[in-house]
Structure 1
Amino acid sequence: MKLGIAMFPADFAVRPDELARAVEDRGFESLFLPEHTHMPATERTRAEVGELPAHFSRTHDLFVALTYAAAATRSLRVGAGICLVPQRDPIVTAKAVASLDALSGGRVLFGVGAGWISEEIAHHGTDPGRRWSVMAERVKAMRRIWEDDVAEFHGEHVRFGPLWSWPKPHRPSGPPVLVGGSGPLVASRVLDFGDEWMPHAGMPVAELAERVAKLRAAGRAAGRADDVPVTVFGAEPEPAHLAELRDIGVNRAVLYAPPADAEAVHRFLDQVAPLTAAFSN
């Protein structure tokens, strides 16, 4: 089982390039960065989600931060954890992902999600109630841009005529798309437009094991040659918990680092680095 690190790339925290070097030097396979474009400064959002920590409104741009992380490292996988696709133009995002993947030598893991803060989504012109179908079409449209020299897409939410867009990603089909979420429809979304499943930690291990088995059986029935990979996001940095995840077939576990200054983050990484010897492969 691979081990990765995630951290909100806040402007008051350790720089993403320094963070990436520290993560790679300690033997972790990957670094995932979450994103929020902004936080609505309204009573409506406060009532919906409560008072969120400062790092939710103070994150660097996702792809700028990932580029710094990739440029500072040699083999570290750099991941979106997650990219809020309903809040992004698919043509622009396809180019950002492809550029990062090409320049990094194919090290991108493209985690995607639909978002959960209604006003944040609505500020980007997307109906929050339709965010899942918008995400599906935008990911499919991005795949079309990555795969085809002359790409076009005609859907309900995304429509564009023939276009050229380079660079293409390192892998012809694009980087792996990790579909976030744990709802009842997530398996169908993974099989529809994703490569991997990325549930957040917190689900009982027995339930997770059952859902992983069902997803992989559905994948084989749909003609997938290999088992659908699973990344558990926000796993507990405890050997017993990680062993349970490994034993049910989880492929990657991602541990949260605190969005803090360099000294605090280095101290956390030093504490969890011994886990890489036991679990990384």
Structure 2
Amino acid sequence: MKFGVSTFITDRGVRPAPLGTALEDRAFDSLFIAEHSHIPAKRESPYPDGGELPEMYYRTLDPFVALAVIATVTERLLLGTGIALIPQRDPIHTAKEVASLDLVSDGRVVFGVGVGWNREEMRDHGTDPATRGRLTDERLRAMRELWTQEKAEFHGEFVDFDPSYAWPKPVQRPFPPIYVGGGPGGFHRVAELGDAWLADGMPPDELGPLIERMRSVAGREVPVTVYAAADDPAQVEGYLGLGVERVLFYLPTMPEQETLAYLDRLAELAGRYR
């Protein structure tokens, strides 16, 4: 089993470069970072974890800028979005950002994607929350055309463009792996468009039946990465028993020295299972 970290990179926490160096120095294989463009002050959507929404949600750095910085100071670390909010992103620009990051990192991008939960946030991007699933699927299909075709074109319900040149192409062929986040409502997306399921950090006894259900929908042995996992040895043992490919420990957003101390503890736990 592989071990990485998932976190929110903000203007009040550790900077991207020292975080990336610290992760690679401690033999973590990957970093997945969250994305929110903004959070409307008038809140309607309840915070999924309950209570008040932490400020890290509206202080996140742009994921592709942060990961590009990390790419320049690392050599092996996988650079993941966890997750990129596809209903809020122009597919042509996003395809170029993903491909550009894959190029400058020599093929280390993992494209974690999802539909999002904050309805007022996505409405500000012109997205109807009721159709965000179909929109996400279509934008992902359009991006795959941009990554793989010399003259890409796409004609759909939401995305429409005539034959076009779009470079760079990703280093990874045919394109970076797509890790699909979300629950059972998105299992069809895993089946049709995903290379792995990016599962929320639920306990192993809850995750096991969902893995079986997801793989039944997909019709194949889709790898599973657990996002925002607790640093609990019992849960790590449970994930190991389920055959999970990767565990992403949740790293709270903190200043640099506190972050390094926290990573030391996570690395010690991960080292027990390597």
Q: Into which bin does the TM-score normalised by the smaller protein fall? A: over 0.9
**How far has the Cα of 1:278 moved from its partner?**
2.4
Aligned-pair distance for 1:46? 7.4
* Matching residue of 1:230: 224
Q: CA deviation at 1:17?
A: 1.1
Q: Deviations over 1:241-270 (max 9, x none)?
A: 111101111101101111110011111001
Q: Does 1:257 align with 2:251?
A: yes
Pairs within 5 Å for 1:38-187: 38-44=38-44, 51-182=52-183, 184-187=184-187
* Preserved CA contact (<8 Å) 1:146 1:172: no
Contact 1:5 1:255 in 2 (8 A): yes
Q: Does the 8 A contact of 1:70 with 1:78 survive in 2? A: yes
The two structures have a TM-score, normalised by structure 2, of 0.94
**How far has the Cα of 1:72 moved from its partner?**
1.2
What CA distance in whole angstroms lies between the structure 2 residues aligned with 1:45 and 1:253?
Answer: 28
CA distance in 1, matches of 2:43, 2:99: 38
Q: CA-to-partner distance for each residue in 1:122-147, whole Å, 9 max, x for gaps?
A: 00000011111111111111111111
Aligned partners of 1:139 and 1:119: how far apart in 2?
22
Shift of 1:62: 1.1
Aligned pair in 2 of structure 1 residues 72, 50: CA closer, same or farther (>3 Å)? same
Residue of structure 2 in register with 1:240 after alignment: 234
Corresponding letter in the other structure for 1:87: Q
Letter of the 1:162 partner, please give it. P
Give a deviation string over 1:11-37, Cα, whole Å, max 9, x none.
010101110110110110001110100
Q: Structure 1 length as normaliser, TM-score?
A: 0.92
Q: Which amino acid aligns with 1:269?
A: L
CA contact (8 A) 2:231 2:266 kept: yes
Question: Tell me, what secondary structure is at the counterpart of 1:189?
Answer: helix
How many residues in Structure 1 have an aligned counterpart in Structure 2? 273
Unaligned runs of 5+ in 2: none
What is the rounded CA distance, in whole Å, between the counterparts of 1:46 and 1:145 in structure 2? 36
SS in 2 for 1:139: helix
Query: Alignment partner of 2:81: what SS?
Result: strand
Tell me the CA shift for residue 208 of structure 1.
1.9
Counterpart-to-counterpart distance in 2, 1:155 and 1:77: 32
Q: Please provide the CA RMSD for this pair.
A: 1.8
Give the stretch that moved more between structures: 209-218 or 255-264.
209-218
Contact 2:43 2:120 in 1 (8 A): no
The runs of 5 or more residues in structure 1 that have no matched partner are: none
Classify 1:43/1:199 alpha carbon distance in 2 versus 1 (closer, same or farther; 3 Å): closer
